[in-house]
Every structure is written in structure tokens, then in C-alpha cells.
Amino acid sequence: MEYRALVRPQVASLKPYTPGTTVSQARKKYGLDRFVKLSSNENPLGTSPLALEALRSMTDLNIYVDDDHAALRARLAAPYGFGAEHVLVGHGSNDVVRTLFTAFLAPGDEVVMADPTFSLFPKDAVLFDAVPVKVPLRDGVHDLDAMLAAVTPRTKIVVVCDPNNPTGTRVEPAAFERFARALPPQIVLVVDQAYREYMPSGSVEGAEFVRSRPGTVVLRTHSKLYGLAALRFGYALGDPEVIAYAQRVRLPFNVSRPAEVAALAALDDAAFVRRSLETNEAGKAYLARELARLGLDAYPTAANFVAVAVPGTATEAYEALLCRGIVTRSGDALGMPGRLRITIGTPEQNALLIEALAALARDGAPAPA
């Protein structure tokens, strides 16, 4: 049977999402006992202890979750003066993107985005027969003027990823404000702020634009700061009318009760949040200092990862670090040739990383076996 003839043409052209290398894959390849996983921007301190405690005391898993998630949605909305009706929940923010695109994208619509940015955006646009319009970054940062110039009457959605994955860079708040004001109101502005909590003060707070520009939708996640990547919880903040349309196509029960319970508990875990942010800030300062000492350029990061320029190709550098037990992400797989994307780890992990990068800067990448 030739299934290619059956599959939707746009699906035939897609490649499956490739996540970062897992520790078990690295172990299989190199046979080392210990790996430091700095490939997926996870919280190096683990999971919020309050979330874990709440998960341990869960019962009644035979009962479906209350799919309204009213308490959680109200809680997420409250810091911005919004209500539950401003919040769309998802099985990670990936799922939120899928839900929004399902609701809004029709064949031939254009989705303006930076290049490179989070790979799900161009892929999901293609899935709905829409056209990703990719606007190159300028010096590693969203070129908002060029993105505005790329808007046409066919533009349905504009995506700003702030901080941007894979570069870690943020947009300048005054420039974003001008951009948001200039964007025609009928365009949905998606602001992916998966790393919002790590940003320096004075950065863009996407949620504030929901009020001043109602077609704005902000994406947030518990996968990073709260250490709940495996559980899957993300959400969008947006105008109630936009959210209500997305609700029509959201998959029922897409957020499990364990995810709901852990997500709520994590929001109360001020101690874990503080420790996580302090660890990230200290790691960021250490890496900035050490990378400069090694003569390795890194984009200024507003997130929990850095995009580091490496000698040779990114894939060679990735392999060289992997055989020393450090798992990173090759920029070759992310549209960022010549750089690695590296999660900021614990002090011990960061020191091991710098040791491996120093060897790489000194000796170059070993010849492929």
C-alpha cells in the first residue's frame, strides 16, 4: 500500500519534531556513565517540591478532570487583573499553539515569524496549509521593522518569540511597543514567552498588551521555571473572544488532573522559584565571564540558555562535547549554524561545560571516527 497517496500533501512534506538528545541516547552512543543534559532548557534544580508533594497525594485518577480548569485559569489570570475567561490551557504550550492555529489558520494565510525561531511555528503553519513568512533575525534579534514590512493583506498571525529560541535574545521594549501599535488590529499577535520569568526587569510583559491590543495572545509554560516539562502544562493569556474561539477546538481533557494539580501547587512554590532564578542568574554571569575568557561569542541571553559561537561546525562541536559527557543542541538543527544552544545549569554543570568548551577551543573538534 502506498500511503503517500493518502496522506495530506502538506503532511507528506513535514518532518517529525526532533527533540534534543536524551541522556539514554547519549549513553548508548558513547557508553559514558554520567551525562550533563543541557539540551532542552529544563530546570537544572529539578521539579518544584510543592508540585511533587501535591502529585504524591493524588487520588481518584479514575475520575476525569473537570475540563473547565476554572480555579487554575483564574489563578493564572489574576496577576494581570484578568479572569479565567482570558486563559486557554494546554498540554504544554506546544498544544496551545496547535489549538490557536487550528482555530485561526485557513489555507493560504500567512504567518510572519523570525528566522530562526522556535521550530514548531513554521511547522504548524504548514500543517494548516498556511505560509510561514520567515524574516531573518538581525544580529540575533527579531527585526521588528522587517517583520512589519513583511505583513500583507494575507497575514493572519504574527509570532514574536521573546526571549527567542534558539538565540535567547529579547526584543527591546520600546521597539516592541511601537511594533504592536503599528500592527493592523485584525492580525493575531502571538507572543511566545516560554522563558518570561527569566527575563531581566523592564522586559516586554506580553500580557500587558492583551489589554491595549486585544488581538494579542501570550504563551506561557510550566515546563521551564517550575520544572514540569514531563508533566505538560502550558497556557495562553488573551482576549476572552479570542480564547473562546480557541476553546471550541481545544481537545477535551488536554490537561490532565495531575498536570492541573501540580501546576497550581507550583505557583505557590516561591522558594523554588527564587532558588531557580538565583541559580540561573549566577550561571548566566559565570558563563558570560568564562565564555569571554575563552574568546567564544555568545548572544546576550534573557533566558535560561545561551547561544554560543563555536570553532568549526556546530555539529562537530556538539559531537565533541557529547563525547565528553555534555549534551547540548547543535545550531545546525535549529537554523543557527556555527552556534550551540546550551542550557544554563547548576554551578557544577556549568564548570564541566566550560572545561569541555576550553578543550574544544584549544584542540578543536576531534576528527569524526
Ligand X SMILES: Cc1ncc(COP(=O)(O)O)c(C=O)c1O
φ, ψ at 324 (rounded to 5°): -100, 10
339: three-class secondary structure by DSSP: strand
Query: Which residue among 122, 168, 206, 234 contacts ligand X (CB under 6 A)?
Result: 234
Give the residue among 244, 230, 237 at the shortest CA–CA distance from 192.
237
DSSP-assigned letters across all residues of 68-103 = T-HHHHHHHHGGGT--GGGEEEESSHHHHHHHHHHH
Q: Tell me how far, at minimum, the Cβ of 76 lies from ligand X, in Å.
A: 13
Residue 298 to residue 301: CA distance in whole angstroms: 8
Contact string (CB under 6 A) for ligand X, positions 199-228, x = contact: ----------------------x-x-----
Give the residue among 228, 315, 322, 314 at the shortest CA–CA distance from 25.
322
Q: Tell me how far, at minimum, the Cβ of 115 lies from ligand X, in Å.
A: 14
Binding residues for ligand X, rule CB under 6 A, total 13
Cα separations in angstroms, 321 against 326, 327, 328: 5, 7, 8
Which among 91-99, 200-208, 290-298, 342-350 is the span making contact with ligand X, rule CB under 6 A?
Answer: 91-99
φ, ψ at 344 (rounded to 5°): -75, 125
Q: Between 255 and 320, name the residue whose CB sits nearer to ligand X.
A: 255
Judge whether 120 and 248 are in contact, CB under 8 Å: no
Grid cell for residue 256: 490532565
Q: Tell me how far, at minimum, the Cβ of 225 lies from ligand X, in Å.
A: 11
Please list every residue from 306 through 365 that binds ligand X, using CB under 6 A. none
- Rounded to the nearest angstrom, the gap between the alpha carbon of residue 327 and the centroid of all alpha carbons in its chain is 18
Q: Between 238 and 365, name the residue whose CB sits nearer to ligand X.
A: 238
Q: Between 143 and 192, name the residue whose CB sits nearer to ligand X.
A: 192
Q: Tell me how far, at minimum, the Cβ of 20 lies from ligand X, in Å.
A: 9
Residue 208 to residue 12: CA distance in whole angstroms: 39
DSSP-assigned letters across all residues of 41-75 = ---TT-S-HHHHHHHHT---TTSPP-TT-HHHHHH
Which residues pair with residue 306 across a beta bridge? 342
Q: Tell me how far, at minimum, the Cβ of 50 lies from ligand X, in Å.
A: 19
Q: Between 261 and 302, name the residue whose CB sits nearer to ligand X.
A: 302
Q: Tell me how far, at minimum, the Cβ of 85 lies from ligand X, in Å.
A: 21
Q: Between 192 and 260, name the residue whose CB sits nearer to ligand X.
A: 192
296: three-class secondary structure by DSSP: coil
Binding of ligand X at residue 93 (CB under 6 A)? yes
Please list every residue from 155 through 184 that binds ligand X, using CB under 6 A. 161, 165
Q: Between 123 and 290, name the residue whose CB sits nearer to ligand X.
A: 123
Please list every residue from 30 through 59 that binds ligand X, using CB under 6 A. 41
Query: Which residue among 94, 155, 276, 304 contacts ligand X (CB under 6 A)?
Result: 94
Residue 355 to residue 34: CA distance in whole angstroms: 15
Binding of ligand X at residue 124 (CB under 6 A)? no
Q: Tell me how far, at minimum, the Cβ of 196 lies from ligand X, in Å.
A: 10
Which among 92-100, 136-144, 322-330, 349-357 is the span making contact with ligand X, rule CB under 6 A?
Answer: 92-100
Q: Between 44 and 234, name the residue whose CB sits nearer to ligand X.
A: 234
Q: Which amino acid is at 142?
A: H
Binding of ligand X at residue 194 (CB under 6 A)? yes
Q: Between 228 and 354, name the residue whose CB sits nearer to ligand X.
A: 228
Would you tell me which residues interact with ligand X (CB under 6 A)? Answer: 41, 92-94, 118, 161, 165, 192, 194, 221, 223, 229, 234
